[in-house]
């Protein structure tokens, strides 16, 4: 039986990953921040863990649950959009800190325990965003979120260099513009469409994709 870890799976894209992998008979480890989220995951048959990626105690708690589990795939999905400001409107420092802690510090501190749970040759996917791409940028809206996703793309690249020694493929992914609490009702894709396509893309991941940045359908995205 294949196994997957999804960090940040209480709702939206993360919950849909848990739903689809469970439906395909994968062993699912998943995290949420409250009892309601944990309940939704347990209802799918997942091994659910209470975890906030910004909590300094989170890495040890996750390592305790997944180290040595020989996971095939680990996904860091947790993310927040933060203030809907465009350049040059400076964010409040607390708003800036909340976005950076969740979207950058969170992945930085979760990568080691996630890697400890993965088998050699496994795959590590980070949910980034095309909004973090400088090469594809045509707008300055949501600039705190954009900065955070550009930063996490750097984190992914560093992780890919280190994890190559264990033949782990580590890459950043844009899920499309998806109808979730974050994406809103006008988004292009249903959460089912996005996750179904991402799952297919993850299946195709090979060593040559290590350290890359890809759209949900596998198309490379410029940094």
What residue ranges bind ligand NAP (CB under 6 A)? 8, 10-14, 33-34, 37, 52-54, 77-80, 102, 106, 127, 129, 174-175, 177-178, 180-183, 187
DSSP for 143-193 reads HHHHHHHHHHHHHHHHHHHHHGGGT-EEEEEE--SBSSTTT-TT-SB-HHH
Residue placing its CB nearer to ligand NAP in the complex, 13 or 155: 13
Q: In the bound complex, what is the minimum distance in angstroms from residue 13's beta carbon to ligand NAP?
A: 4
Local structure of residue 33 (DSSP, 8 states): S
CA 49 vs CA 10, 55, 82, 103, 136: distances in Å: 11, 13, 25, 19, 36
Q: In the bound complex, what is the minimum distance in angstroms from residue 161's beta carbon to ligand NAP?
A: 22
According to DSSP, the residues that pair with 50 across neighbouring strands are 32
Residue placing its CB nearer to ligand NAP in the complex, 194 or 210: 194
Q: In the bound complex, what is the minimum distance in angstroms from residue 128's beta carbon to ligand NAP?
A: 7
Residue placing its CB nearer to ligand NAP in the complex, 119 or 193: 193
What is the C-alpha to C-alpha distance for residues 57 and 50, in angstroms, rounded to an integer? 11
Residue placing its CB nearer to ligand NAP in the complex, 92 or 207: 92
Tokens found for residue 48:
């659910």
Tokens found for residue 118:
């993965």
Q: In the bound complex, what is the minimum distance in angstroms from residue 100's beta carbon to ligand NAP?
A: 11
Residue placing its CB nearer to ligand NAP in the complex, 164 or 196: 196
Q: In the bound complex, what is the minimum distance in angstroms from residue 188's beta carbon to ligand NAP?
A: 8
What is the C-alpha to C-alpha distance for residues 79 and 60, in angstroms, rounded to an integer? 20
Residue placing its CB nearer to ligand NAP in the complex, 40 or 209: 40
What is the C-alpha to C-alpha distance for residues 157 and 126, in angstroms, rounded to an integer? 11
Q: In the bound complex, what is the minimum distance in angstroms from residue 108's beta carbon to ligand NAP?
A: 13
End-to-end Cα distance, the chain: 35
């Amino acid at each position: 039986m294949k196994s997957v870890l999804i960090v940040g799976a209480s709702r939206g894209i993360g919950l849909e990953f848990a739903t689809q992998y469970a439906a395909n008979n994968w062993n699912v480890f998943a995290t949420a921040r409250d009892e309601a989220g944990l309940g939704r995951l347990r209802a799918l048959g997942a091994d659910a863990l209470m975890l906030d990626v910004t909590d300094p105690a989170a890495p040890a708690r996750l390592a305790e649950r997944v180290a040595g589990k020989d996971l095939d795939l680990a996904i860091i999905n947790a993310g927040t959009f933060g203030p809907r400001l465009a350049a040059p409107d400076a964010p409040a420092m607390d708003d800036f800190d909340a976005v950076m802690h969740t979207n950058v510090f969170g992945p930085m501190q979760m990568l080691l325990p996630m890697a400890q749970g993965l088998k050699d040759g496994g795959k590590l996917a980070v949910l980034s965003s095309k909004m973090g791409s400088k090469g594809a940028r045509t707008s300055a809206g949501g600039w705190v979120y954009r900065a955070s996703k550009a930063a996490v793309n750097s984190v992914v690249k560093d992780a890919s260099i280190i994890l190559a020694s264990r033949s782990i493929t580590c890459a950043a992914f844009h899920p499309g513009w998806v109808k979730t609490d974050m994406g809103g009702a006008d988004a292009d894709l249903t959460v089912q469409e996005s996750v179904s396509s991402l799952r297919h893309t993850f299946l195709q991941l090979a060593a040559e994709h290590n350290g890359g940045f890809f759209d949900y359908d596998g198309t490379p995205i410029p940094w």
